Amino acid sequence: MAHIVIMGAGIGGMPAAYEMRATLPAEHRITVVSAVDYFQFTPSNPWVAVGWRDRESITLPIAPLLEKKGIAFIAKPVTIIDAEANQLTLKDGQTVDYDYLVITTGPKLFFDEVPGSGPHGGHTHSVCTVDHALGFFKDYEEFLKYPGTVVIGAMPFASCFCPAY
Ligand SMILES: Cc1cc2nc3c(=O)[nH]c(=O)nc-3n(C[C@H](O)[C@H](O)[C@H](O)COP(=O)(O)OP(=O)(O)OC[C@H]3O[C@@H](n4cnc5c(N)ncnc54)[C@H](O)[C@@H]3O)c2cc1C
């Protein structure tokens, strides 16, 4: 019996968990470990940013979705991967042993690369996460009261330019 752990429950992690459950014999355990307890459909964030969707319509609580398929779920960030020991350490110190690890943690956002950028203390907005998009919408509503020029762009090293357009 193997224990497969999938790190991250986004667009890569959720299908990986479902497909492994459907493919592997039942004696193998699958656990998904993700930093937050909800799935967000990232490509819809620009709609949240302009008020065409709200948070509830583009996010889903993960636990019930995975549990009904017999997949365990832990909603905590991973802080250490000990590949030699086949073990993860989570933010609260809990450890999770695995036989196989699938890493689907998405991008590390690079706001530090451009001084003054970023939604937390910077001077730009982002649609990279649903929380960023909600912050965008709050300021967008203010902007609409006194419209002016908006600059839309993608940061150095951005791999996905389409959402900006
Ligand atoms: C606005 C926008 C629009 C897009 N539109 C499209 C599109 O139309 N078509 C397209 O193909 N792609 C699109 N993309 C790109 C697409 O969203 C990403 O390629 C995709 O989400 C990446 O999937 P992923 O599973 O690797 O990461 P994500 O979907 O980002 O998921 C990462 C997961 O890992 C978790 N995680 C991160 N760090 C840790 C940690 N330390 N411990 C535990 N869990 C962790 C997160 O909580 C999350 O659950 C868009 C991206 C953006 C920002």
Which domains can be identified in the chain, with CATH numbers? 3-103 (3.50.50.60)
pTM of the model: 0.93
Nearest CA to ligand 1 atom 24: 106
What pLDDT, on a 0 to 100 scale, did the predictor assign at position 101?
Answer: 98
Please classify residue 6 by burial: count the beta carbons closer than 10 Å to its beta carbon, then call 0-12 exposed, 13-18 middle and 19+ buried.
Answer: buried
Nearest CA to ligand 1 atom 6: 43
Q: Is 34 in the pocket of ligand 1 (CB under 6 A)?
A: yes
Q: Is 128 in the pocket of ligand 1 (CB under 6 A)?
A: yes
Q: pLDDT by residue (tens digit) across 78-123?
A: 999 999 999 999 999 999 999 999 999 998 888 888 889 888 877 9
> Band of the pLDDT at 67, cuts 50, 70, 90?
very high
Q: Is 154 in the pocket of ligand 1 (CB under 6 A)?
A: no
What pLDDT, on a 0 to 100 scale, did the predictor assign at position 54?
Answer: 97
